[in-house]
Amino acid sequence: MAGTAGGLAENSGISAVAYVVDLTVEDTASSFDIATVITVEATEAVDVIVLNAKQLDVAKKVVVDGEDKNGVSVRVPVSDVVFHEDREEVEILLGKKLTVGDTYNVTVTATGVLGVPSGEGFIKATYDSGKSWLAAIRSSPTSARMVFPCVDQAGEEADVTLRVWRPATHTAISNAPVINSQVISGGLTVSDTFATIRLAPHQVGLVVAPLKRQSADGDAVVLWGREQAAAATQEDARKYVSTVNALVENLSQVPLAESPLSVVALPGRHVT
């Protein structure tokens, strides 16, 4: 069943269980590469998988691997991949119907354009007279589809694992802590794997920028910023976080988690 622009059909026949998102951003590039493995559970016997995607060049080669209730691997043939720009959807047409209750891994690759600083999705900004750059995910409840193909609904939470390939000159910061980093390409590139957390797609946060940690180990607030801006931003950041924590706790009547909170001071913008 087709959806409408900005949404996804409620009766789509699948439920997203997990995402493994591999994102590559290079030093001089104006685009980024995405490889996403989406684990879905079939809630209906459908022969089409519908995902949200916007301003992404989705490759025609999509692989759907399943596993039945007995643990036997099943390859589901894909007959076509159709992009509907007006509906912000990608339809993956299957050669046979999915089995209700079984899970399937859908592997989708795509290329996206790094957006302007005032836009949404994965944006890129330059500063220091164009000598430096940063990239960041800026999302609204239906703009995760501009970063990776997904079931882009605010209430559709799933386990998300993010892996980022970035220049060694930059640092990658996300919602979750880094659990593994590897230096590759002769020391020019770093691959970061972040811990798995449960989120709706639009809640995935990422900043890739030439930042340094400015706070000490064990601090409740982890401050990241440019080395030359650290002294000016550290006190402001602590005041900002303290105010936000108090406001949220007052409104929700629930104490915030005691795990460290990362605060990023981006050039030309308020602490984020």
Task: Give per-residue pLDDT as tens, 4-56.
Answer: 455 554 447 999 999 999 999 998 889 999 999 999 999 999 999 999 999 99
Tell me the pTM.
0.82
The pair of three-digit structure tokens given for residue 60, joined into one six-digit string: 């025609």
Supply the pLDDT for residue 258: 41
Question: Burial of 137 by CB count in 10 Å (0-12 exposed, 13-18 middle, 19+ buried)?
Answer: buried
Q: C-alpha distances in angstroms, 212 versus 92, 124, 216, 266?
A: 42, 19, 12, 12
In order of their start, the domains of the chain are 14-210 (2.60.40.1730), 211-267 (no CATH)
* DSSP classification of residue 238: H
218: left (phi over 0), alpha (psi -120 to 50) or beta: left
User: Average pLDDT over the chain, rounded to whole?
Assistant: 82
Task: Give per-residue pLDDT as tens, 129-168.
Answer: 888 899 999 888 888 999 999 999 888 899 999 999 999 9
Task: Give per-residue pLDDT as tens, 85-123.
Answer: 999 999 999 999 999 999 999 999 999 999 988 889 999
